[in-house]
Structure 1
Amino acid sequence: MKRTIAQINEKINNGRVVAWTIAETKAKISQLGIEKVFQQVDVITTGTFEPMESSGAILNLGHTDPPIKIRQCWLDGIAAYAGFGAVDLYLGATATADYNLNETDPNLREGVGWERGGGHVIEDLIAGKSIQLKAIGQKTDCYPRAMWENAITKENINQFYLFNPRNLYQNFIVGVNGGDRTLYTYLGPLQPRLGNAVYSNPGAISPLINDPDLNLVGIGSKIFLGGGIGYIAWEGTQHFPLQRRLPNNTPIGPAATVALIGDAKQMDSNWVRGCYFKNYGSSLMLGVGVALPVLTEQVIRNCAVVDKDVVAPVIDFSIPRRVRPTFGLVSYAQLQKGHVTIDGKSVRVAPLASKHRSLQVAQELKQWITTGKFTLTEPVASLPSDRTFVPQDTNRSSISLE
């Protein structure tokens, strides 16, 4: 027996849909088996809440009188990109205060001014706070204004939406430091001599882990994004579905990614949080939920995977190269115990992704579906399955990593 998304949406609209979170589904599979679970459930909700630094917001401010063609702009002192429309901006989650970022700048060495960045401004705008804008224009006949300062909120600008080039890594890495000094990374501080390990994925409940071949999601799929409704807009940057996989079809490291879009005016700052990694910079903690339609029994088989069956590579950040040595693979069940054995040493482990809040995202999305607030969409196109990973090497034009 097969189902269609149209049939599931009819059940949602009639209040007859059966939706379970991914955690509930995995528990039911262990109790009832795949066939009985398939017969009972229509939709499985997944979620994650983790840092996603390849994120940002598009803002259209509206035209001033006289008009201005903005070429430089700061929002609460954080630089926004203004290299396209006259009053269009892109504010990246990792944008910082605009000063000279070079290796001799003491601010760069000490991380001064990095504590607040683009992610924090995005959170504040979503929360309804006022943000101070300063803009410098290029004077032309149709845009004669040279400067503009104003206070903006999400209510007094035209568009404010998230457009995130890379979210929802299908899997990621575990970071450690085998060197002799503390390293400040996008996973946070890594203590020397294998003093700690950090990972950034909720494991077997992660959305794309449960759709390993990307058969259920694609361009146009509706999602939970930051407490509002969003969509998968495209493949994500660094999308690498050809990553090596275990026999259960889960990747052994970073694999598929997606680009996401959604109206930030409808979002909730509870699910969009600016954050800061010491001496590294700002990022954005983001809640994302994906509803998986139960179209065939294979959907349930894919969702049966558990943390002991999903692994991530342990990467040594002390080697400052693109390809770093690894200490092998470790399961998420081991990571979630709070310590792992690496190179014969017991190492304490901490997550960046919040499993508790990831489960809350899945639960909220389930409630949206069962109350008729959220229906499913048919993808308008599939995400590519053949993308290679192309690094920038000086001696070769392109390399495909397997």
Structure 2
Amino acid sequence: MGEIKKSWEEINQRLATGKAVVLTAEETAELAKTESPEEVAKKVDVVTTGTFGAMCSSGMFINFGHPEPPIRMEHITLDGVPVFGGVAAVDAYIGATETHPDDGRFGGAHIIEKLIRGEEVYMEAHAKGTDCYPRKDIATYIHKDRVNEMILTNPRNAYQNYPAATNSTHRTLYTYMGTLLPSYMNVNYSTSGCLSPLLNDPYLRTIGIGSPVFLGGAIGSVAWNGTQFNTEKPVNDRGIPLSNARTLMLVGNAKEMSADWIRAGYYKKYGVTMYVGVGFAIPVLDEDMAYRVMIRNEDIETSLCDYGVEGHPTLAKVNYRDLMSGTIEFRGKRIRTAPLSSYRRARLLAEQLKQLVLQGKFPLTAPARPLPEHSRVQGLSIIRDRRA
């Protein structure tokens, strides 16, 4: 592969003159049935992707503004949910998975969604008081129009693939992969298949630091690689990782976001999470990029892991066509499958992003800096007490 080449500038010029062809990843996957990568590279300029799933490693910085007299907030709650105030006088970080001390089904994600919706939230803050910040207590209602900034800052979003989960034990397990019934009675998975952003650019040729991203209904940016960014996972013959691999740290103005694309959630006996809509517009720069964005659900495999055993060992490989069919065959029997992410909304997001690109409302820009080519994830070492 390598004859057809298009630059970012050429594609942007085609967009500006109304000549560009923009398709969703699902539409491009359909072309793969009849077209070669060379033909797709000639015909298609941009491919839009989307996912809408639980992204626990999410949260929001908020600057409340200074009251008079001012306060250096130390212990802060929003609608009773603790938020982290150890960053500055009136800055705080709301973690999506932080929970209310009296209600484990309500937490930071609900606060973020309420504020994005334009609802008021009750805030209490306490401090020791200083000469420059003499106030010791404050209680008030905040609203997105009465605070300075609401910056969604998500350390680990848009996982590049994720293992499917099942349970070999004789008891029901309640996990971040949902409820897993005993004795392999069900399988849960959480990826939007051929629409998933990082599966359409598996080596991140077009996605890096500074890349624009559809984030929660607004245009955000890739700030850095996400935490637990892993380039060392095994891949299939399409270059698709067979397990959870690369991730992105995403930021954006939450005041511009929509509760259509930011939703609080709760997993029974596990905890609060936040559903986030994420999408990228991928330029088809050459035949190799065309080959990557032509992936179909049957081309994308993931590991089926046993969450009933320590270390979650891999039991088999499965593809997303089979997972999305509603059942898979495993060890001689049919097992029900269920998604934890919404394929319908991922499809809607990719279509919405397609229209934004065609209307010139979503920028198509090269990354300012690439993400790491080599990175692996370490476990936490447990070291005996050295303080003695």
TM range (shorter): over 0.9
Contact 1:68 1:138 in 2 (8 A): no
Task: Tell me the SS of whatever aligns to 1:329.
Answer: strand
What RMSD over aligned residues (CA atoms) do the two structures have, in Å?
Answer: 1.4
Aligned to 1:108: none
Question: Over residues 79-120 of structure 1, what are the superposed CA-to-partner deviations in whole Å (9 max), with x where a residue is unaligned?
Answer: 111111111010011010136xxxxxxxxxxxxx11111111
Whether 2:197 is the aligned partner of 1:204: answer no
Kept in 1, the 8 Å contact 2:166–2:184? The answer is yes
Could you tell me which residue of structure 1 aligns to residue 163 of structure 2? Answer: 173
4-13 vs 380-389, greater mean Cα deviation? 4-13
Aligned mates of 1:352, 1:119 — CA distance in 2: 17
- Per the alignment, residue 361 of structure 2 pairs with 373
Give me the whole-angstrom Cα distance separating, in 2, the residues matched to 1:301 and 1:253. Answer: 21
Distance verdict in 2 for CA 1:77–1:395, change over 3 Å: closer
- CA change 1:63–1:276 in 2 (3 A) is same
Q: Distance in 1 between matches of 2:21 and 2:336?
A: 40
Give the aligned partner of residue 305 of structure 1. Answer: 295
Give the C-alpha shift of residue 275 in structure 1.
0.5
C-alpha deviation, 1:10, in angstroms: 2.5
Are 2:230 and 1:227 equivalent residues in the alignment?
Answer: no
Pairing 1:191–2:194 present: no
Corresponding residue number in structure 2 for 1:9 = 12
Quote the residue 1:253 is aligned against: 243
Say whether residues 1:325 and 2:328 are aligned partners.
Answer: no
- TM-score calculated relative to the size of structure 1: 0.92
CA distance in 1 between partners of 2:68 and 2:357 (Å): 45
In structure 2, what is the Cα distance between the partners aligned to 1:145 and 1:114? 31
Aligned residue among 285, 288, 305 for 2:278? 288
Per the TM alignment, residue 283 of structure 1 is displaced from its structure 2 partner at its CA by 0.6
Residue matched to 2:172: 182
Aligned to 1:110: none
Provide the C-alpha distance between the structure 2 equivalents of 1:124 and 1:165, rounded to a whole number of angstroms: 21
**Are 1:393 and 2:381 counterparts?**
yes
Give the conservation status (yes or no) of the 8 Å contact 1:15–1:372.
Answer: no
Would the aligned equivalents of 1:71 and 1:137 in 2 still touch at CA under 8 Å? yes
Paired residue type of 2:125? A
Q: Is the 8 A contact 1:173 1:253 kept in 2?
A: yes
Once residues 121 and 40 of structure 1 are traced to their aligned partners in structure 2, the CA distance between those partners, rounded to angstroms, is 45
Following superposition, the deviation at residue 395 of structure 1 comes to 7.6
Deviations 1:13-72 (A, max 9, x none): 333322111111111232232222211211110000111010000100001111111111
Gap runs ≥5 in structure 2: none
Give 1:28-39 correspondences, 5 Å limit. Answer: 28-39=31-42
Deviates more, 1:324-333 or 1:253-262: 324-333
Q: Assess if the C-alpha contact under 8 Å between 2:31 and 2:294 holds in 1.
A: no
Match of 1:263 among 253, 256, 277: 253
What aligned pairs does 1:124-135 form with structure 2 within 5 A after superposition? 124-135=114-125
The 2-side partners of 1:156 and 1:255 are apart by 39
TM-score by length of 2: 0.95
CA offsets 1:176-206 (integer angstroms, 9 cap, x no match): 1111211110011111111211001011221
Q: Which amino acid aligns with 1:5?
A: W
Q: Please tell me the residue identity of whatever aligns with 2:93.
A: Y
| Residue 44 (structure 1) aligned with residue 47 (structure 2) | yes
1:55 aligns with 2:45: no
Aligned pairs, number: 381
Question: Whole-Å Cα distance in 2 between the matches of residues 195 and 395 of structure 1?
Answer: 39
- Write out per-residue CA displacement over residues 134-175 of structure 1, whole angstroms, 9 at most, x where no aligned residue: 111231111111111111111100000110000011110111
**CA deviation vs aligned residue, 1:315-369 (integer Å, no higher than 9, x gap):** 11112x3x22221111111111111123333211100111111011110000001
Of stretches 377-386 and 343-352 in structure 1, the one that deviates more from structure 2 is 343-352
Q: Verify the 8 A CA contact 2:29 2:194 in the aligned structure 1.
A: no
Contact in 2 for aligned 1:252/1:313 (Cα 8 Å): yes
**What's the CA shift for 1:3?**
1.5
- Matching residue's letter, 1:140: T
Q: Is the 8 A contact 2:195 2:350 kept in 1?
A: no
| Residue 124 of structure 1, CA deviation | 1.0
Query: Which residue of the partner structure matches residue 74 of structure 2?
Result: 71
Structure 1 residue ranges without an equivalent (≥5): 100-112, 397-402
Q: Distance in 2 between matches of 1:202 and 1:164?
A: 19
CA distance in 2, matches of 1:73, 1:287: 28
- 371-380 or 42-51: bigger deviation: 371-380
